């Protein structure tokens, strides 16, 4: 009989209720590694939808991640940002190597070598932001050429800030919209122009000489933000929606203004590479670029809060409640 290893994992048991529960893990086979987690990151996007019960129960957790099987019907295990060290290796990875895995929150787990990303020298806590960097990179790629174009980014959570920074690096004249004052202050410290939504229309009119935006990126997670932002687009403008709203309704007015101005609504999603980019980009290339960006982007500013694994319920509640100063929370395992 194969030896089993005792582990602890975060389980979503009901809306806004998580528990740390025991789970048995099989010993690694050939081509696999046993990883002891150091930190795991909590997403304020999809993971919060799961935590709040705002996803259809029969929706698959993620068909592109082998560690996420089943659906969002309670109870389930979820999460996709574990950073740890290889403790046993039946593969080419060296014991002690620092690795990233798209895996639920768990203190010890086994993964195929192909599902592990070996990391350079980097603080493990900061590496938990890798999925957010990769998401922001895909959004910036989906945005297309933006050199000298006015672009509004709506929402300054961690992904919003990373997206705004990457678009700015690509040459866009970025204006970010965010209702929370302390987030605007953080963004300003990172070199971003951030304004209150109440003055956004005036700023856009000044930036575009009244013509309107060619591109708006919605990454707030709030349907009302998309509704309020569509009027900012110019003729044939595009709203690129990176938010997943879950089961929340999005009551868009797609009448004369939308129709006559030939506006475009597009989604941006990180699980796949768009067909139009497939000749130049694939997932390994995007992932390698994202790992490199970890050392180039100010991720330390975004890595604001840590909680012990045993305090996972407190961590999720803090993210859910929008604790002042919290941009990205992680669980600590040592």
Local structure of 302: helix, strand or coil:
helix
Structural tokens at position 326: 């919290």
Distances from the Cα of 14 to the Cαs of 53, 72, 74, 322, in angstroms?
8, 10, 6, 20
CA atoms within 13 A on the CB side of 212: 15
Q: What is the DSSP string of 121-149?
A: S--HHHHTTHHHHHHHHHHHHHH---TT-
Q: What is the pLDDT of residues 167-198, one digit of tens each?
A: 999 999 999 999 999 999 999 999 999 999 99
1 pLDDT band, cuts 50/70/90, is very low
DSSP 264-289: EEEE--SSS--GGGTTT--HHHHHHH
Question: Is residue 88 within a helix (H) or strand (E), and if so which, with residue range?
Answer: strand 82-89
- What's the distance, CA 64 to chain centroid? 15
Give residue-wise pLDDT tens across range 75-126. Answer: 999 999 999 999 988 778 889 999 999 999 999 999 999 999 999 999 999 9
Contact (CB, 8 A) for 150 and 172 = yes
Q: Running DSSP on this structure, what letter comes out for residue 330?
A: E
> Cα–Cα distance between 223 and 17 in angstroms, integer?
24
Q: pLDDT band at 2, cuts 50/70/90?
A: low
Query: What is the pTM for the complete model shown?
Result: 0.95
For residue 75, cis peptide bond before it (omega within 30 degrees of 0): yes
The string of pLDDT tens digits covering residues 59-89 is 887 767 776 778 899 999 999 999 999 998 8
Give the chain's domains with CATH numbers: 4-128+303-332 (3.90.180.10), 132-276 (3.40.50.720)
CA angle 127, 66, 57 (to 5 degrees): 100
Radius of gyration of the chain, Cα coordinates, nearest whole angstrom = 20
- The conformational region for residue 255 under phi > 0 = left, psi -120 to 50 = alpha, else beta, is beta
Q: Are 86 and 94 in contact (CB under 8 A)?
A: yes
* 300 against 258, higher pLDDT: 300
Q: Examine the pLDDT at 257 and tell me if it is beyond 90.
A: no
């Amino acid at each position: 009989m194969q030896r089993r290893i005792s582990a602890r994992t975060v389980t979503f048991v009901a809306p806004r209720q998580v528990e740390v529960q025991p789970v048995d893990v099989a010993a690694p086979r050939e081509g696999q590694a046993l990883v002891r987690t150091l930190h795991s990151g909590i997403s304020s996007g999809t993971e919060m939808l799961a935590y709040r019960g705002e996803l259809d129960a029969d929706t698959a957790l993620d068909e592109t991640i082998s560690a996420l099987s089943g659906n969002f019907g309670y109870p389930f295990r979820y999460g996709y940002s574990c950073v740890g060290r290889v403790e046993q290796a039946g593969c080419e990875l060296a014991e002690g190597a620092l690795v990233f895995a798209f895996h639920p929150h768990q203190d010890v787990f086994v993964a195929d070598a192909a599902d592990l990303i070996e990391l350079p020298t980097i603080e493990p806590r900061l590496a938990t932001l890798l999925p957010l960097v990769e998401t922001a990179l895909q959004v910036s790629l989906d945005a297309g050429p933006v050199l000298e174009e006015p672009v509004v980014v709506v929402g300054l959570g961690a992904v919003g800030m990373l997206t705004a920074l990457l678009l700015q690096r690509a040459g866009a004249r970025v204006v970010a919209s965010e209702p929370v004052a302390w987030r605007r202050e953080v963004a300003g410290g990172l070199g971003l122009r951030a304004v209150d939504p109440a003055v956004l229309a005036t700023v856009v009119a000044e930036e575009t000489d009244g013509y309107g935006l060619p591109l708006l990126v919605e990454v707030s997670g709030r349907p009302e933000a998309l509704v309020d932002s569509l009027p900012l687009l110019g003729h044939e403008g595009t709203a690129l929606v990176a938010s997943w709203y879950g089961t929340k309704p999005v009551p868009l007015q797609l009448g004369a203004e939308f129709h006559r101005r030939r506006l475009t609504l597009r989604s941006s999603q990180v699980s796949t590479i768009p067909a139009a980019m497939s000749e130049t980009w694939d997932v390994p290339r995007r992932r390698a670029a994202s790992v490199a960006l970890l050392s180039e982007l100010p991720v330390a500013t975004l890595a604001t809060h840590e909680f012990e694994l045993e305090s996972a319920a407190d961590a999720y509640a803090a993210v859910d409640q929008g604790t002042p100063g919290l941009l990205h929370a992680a669980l600590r395992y040592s």
